[in-house]
Structure 1
Amino acid sequence: MSAAKRTIAQEVLIDLYRRLEGLPARCAERRDLVQQAAQLYGVSESTLYRYLRTLYQPKPVRRSDLGKSRVIPSAQMERYCEIIAALKIRTMNKNGRHISTVGAIRLLETSGIESDYGFIKLAPGQLNKATVNRYLLQWHFTPKTVLKDSPAVRFQAQHSNECWQFDLSPSDLKHLQEPVWYDKQKGRPILMLYSVVDDRSGVCYQEYRCVYGEDAASALLFLFNAMSAKADPEFPFRGMPDAIYLDNGPIAKSRVFRNVMAYLGIEVKIHEPASKAKRRKAARSKGKVERAFRTVKECHEVLYHLREPKNEAEANQRLLEYLKQYNDHQ
């Protein structure tokens, strides 16, 4: 602040401003007041007018160089923060634990890091934890912002029976009152809903099966029924696909299942598993078969509360009648 500016008190400027506010813009009395005040405090008229213009202007509450490093150039600080963020991601385990900011700074100071920018080694005390953490948040170099899922690649078969999506889900009915077969040593079997959906047309075929788990024999029997000609000639699902898309569960890992599919000339495609770096989630492209499960459970199985099927054959018969209506809308 200059010496000339310190000679005019804030109260004097406020009083002069209020007196000038009551006078017209081009008034001789207004000019006389400004000249008298300028002569009294030893400043020019233009300087006094400048003080009056800035009298009620809001002043910033933060520094003009907010967010910029004053000790290290911004480009160099950004490079260091990028390296520290890369160290955090590189040392992250499956539980999300990684090297701390203090540990990364100590590593850069003691042994240095070989990076794309060359060999980086810092002098002791050049960086501190609070400054680095603030810039990591400001420049979005945290693991939550850096580690994003890779974009999902959507696909769709060009022709019918080119690809089937296959999956199974526990039925909301859970079990039947009179299961077809029953092993007292294993307990009551679970009623599973097996489903295949044509990737191109969206036509669906499903069956109920009482099983104790995901076994290859039940899956092969279901696929045989799906590929075979149906008793109802109007049911729009038959033929053999070129490929079957399913998750990497016990069925896909079964050697018997893969041998049968290879003998039939059907390619087995599995969902991509989740990556260790958590950049890709598992089973991201099976929405069509999951949509069929949801529709059957919400629109068909809720009616079982009114009249529950007695056995597996009756449940499959009622399900087949519903699927005829479902496929007509596809």
Structure 2
Amino acid sequence: MHETLYHFHKPGDEAEANLWLRRALVTYNNADHRSEPHARIEDWLRHLPPDGVRAMCSWERFCAFAREPERRTVAGDATISVEGASYEVEPHLAGETVTVLWGLFDQALFIEHDGKRFGPFEPSRGAVPLYRYRKYQKSRAEERLDKVVRLADQLGLPRATVSGGDRPLPSLPPSTAGLAVRRVPFPEPAVETTFATGLAARRAIVEQLRRPLGALPEEDRAFIDSLLSETLDKAIIADRIRDRFHARRKEG
């Protein structure tokens, strides 16, 4: 209901937009409940779950959820291409039909196969296609919203409707003063201290050295092979690579 008003007037900045939204939420929640003899906010506070209200997730975590599935067949060289961008995936997935999870708000790619998830994979070469990851089919609600936008262009609405004018910001009902809200942190995934595969470790080494592994001397490639056969711990690998290659640069 409140979002529709933004089609008539735009806030000057984020702070003003949040102020308008707060006013709309407080006004709505202070109104009478549709069936109970008290305000909406009081009914909500009385029926909170025992564990409390779960906090919002981080933007990075939300991006991990917002994904569009698509069935694709991995090429023989273990890559998946889309509009000029190529993703190198796990070698054992070559030739397999997998479920590709395209990110709606990022460029990362996940793959599901035989009940297991692999990734994230980043574009390995080629240009990233513009708007590829935000493309989706509009829902009926979005189509109705488009009609509202067209209608808003033909109508007028006073700015005080969204800004509140000179009216003070409404406060919560006195009956809610003693009711507290318990907040539960959003469960974040545990930080992985090891690479999932040797391929993921090699990609991290490439990023650390800023050069392809194929361009390294044979003894350096043998050192990396030996290191990865010994451990996949992220910290250990980063330290060993730094000690070997960065110390050599200082000597040179």
TM-score range, shorter chain: under 0.3
Using CA pairs below 8 Å that are at least 6 residues apart, which structure has the higher relative contact order? 2
Larger Rg: 1
Which is strand-richer, 1 or 2? Answer: 2
TM-score by length of 2: 0.20
